[in-house]
Amino acid sequence: IAGITQAPTSQILAAGRRMTLRCTQDMRHNAMYWYRQDLGLGLRLIHYSNTAGTTGKGEVPDGYSVSRANTDDFPLTLASAVPSQTSVYFCASSDPLRTEAFFGQGTRLTVV
């Protein structure tokens, strides 16, 4: 693994189903983020974590939850997916001084 890895790359999900998007980094960064990107709305922060064991809400947290059990992993869970959660999801991490954020390749999620 080099950098940030997200899985799956894409997914079609039935409304009402539960889904966890995975994110793993090997850079030992303390801070991690989840964003969604929608046409015309740019990148919007869903949840973040400044260090293992802590999480915080971003701009659009409703319908999503995260956990940070260790430094490397930051999964995003949709408890009951709705069509408005159709989007491209990006996970990112940054070093302690926040001088640069590294992004995964994204997960394209379609809720039908």
CB of 71 to another protein, least distance (A): 16
Residue closer to another protein by CB (options 14, 97) is 97
Q: How far is CA 15 from the centre of its chain?
A: 19
CB of 81 to another protein, least distance (A): 22
CB of 15 to another protein, least distance (A): 25
User: Which residues contact another protein (rule: CB under 8 A)?
Assistant: 4, 31, 33, 35, 40-45, 48, 50, 56, 58-59, 90, 92, 94, 98-106
Residue closer to another protein by CB (options 28, 98) is 98
Q: Are strands 107-111 and 10-13 parallel, antiparallel or unpaired?
A: parallel
Any long-range contacts for 76-79 (C-beta under 8 Å, 24+ apart)? 76/20, 76/21, 76/23, 76/34, 76/46, 76/47, 77/18, 77/19, 77/20, 77/21, 78/13, 78/18, 78/19, 78/20, 78/21, 79/18
Q: Is 72 helix (H, G, I), strand (E, B) or coil?
A: coil
Residue closer to another protein by CB (options 58, 75) is 58
CB of 56 to another protein, least distance (A): 6
Residue closer to another protein by CB (options 17, 50) is 50
